[in-house]
Copies of this chain bind each other. A is one copy, B any other.
Amino acid sequence: MPKKETFQDLSLPALKGEQELWRWLYTELRAAILGGRLKPGARLPSTRSLAKQYSLSRGTVIAAFDQLLSEGYIRTQVSSGTYVAPIMPGQWLQANRRRSTLKVPASKATLSKRARAMIHGIDLLAPSHSVGKAFRSYEPAIDLFPVELWSRVASRVLRHAPRSLYGHGAAGGYQPLRRAIAEYIGGARGVRCVPEQIIVTSGAQQALDLAARFLLDPGDHVWMEDPGYSGTTQTLRAAGAKIIPVPVDQDGFDVKAARKLSPKARMAYVTPANQFPLGVTMSADRRLELLNWAASIGAWIVEDDYDGEYRYHGRPVAALQSLDHSGSVIYIGTFTKMLFNALRLGFMVVPERLANAFEAARSFVDRHPPTLDQAILAEFITEGHFGLHVRKMRQTYLERLSVLKEAAQKHLDGLLTIEDAAAGMRTIGWLPAGASDKLASKQASMLGLEVSALSAFALKKTQKPGLILGFAGCTPHELRRGVSVLSTDLRGSR
Contacts and interface: CB of A to CB of B under 8 A. Distances in A.
Interface in A81-135: 85-88, 91-92, 95-96, 99, 102, 104-115, 118-119, 122, 124-131
A319 to B, nearest CB: 12
Copies of the chain in the assembly: 2
Contacts of A311: 70
A203 B367 contact: yes
7 closest Cβ contacts across the A-B interface? A128-B167, A72-B283, A67-B314, A108-B298, A72-B284, A342-B371, A202-B366
Interface in A260-316: 266, 281-288, 291-292, 294-296, 298-300, 311, 313-315
14 contacts: A71-B314, A88-B288, A95-B291, A105-B326, A109-B266, A110-B298, A112-B216, A114-B217, A115-B214, A143-B163, A202-B202, A205-B363, A342-B370, A344-B370
Contacts of A72: 251, 281-287
A490 interface: no
Contacts of A118: 214, 360-361, 364
A458 interface: no
A326 B115 contact: no
A131 B325 contact: no
Given A95-B288, A288-B95, A344 B357 contact: no
A235 interface: yes
Interface stretch (A150-158, A411-419, A429-437, A460-468): A150-158
B283 A85 contact: yes
Contacts of A314: 26, 63, 66-71
Interface residues of A, number: 138
Interface string A137-166: 011001101011011001100110101111
Nearest to A299: B109
A226 interface: no
Interface in A351-381: 351, 354, 357, 359-361, 363-373
Residue of A63, A363, A364 with highest tally of chain B CB at under 10 A? A364
Contacts of A148: 159
Given A205-B365, A238-B364, A360-B119, A295 B151 contact: no
Nearest to A129: B164
A332 to B, nearest CB: 13
A128 B292 CA distance: 42
A185 interface: no
Contact of A281 (B23, B70, B367): B70
Residue of A296, A328, A361 with highest tally of chain B CB at under 10 A? A361
Contact of A142 (B73, B166, B325, B363): B166
Contacts of A447: none
Interface in A434-449: none
Contacts of A127: 164, 167-170, 368
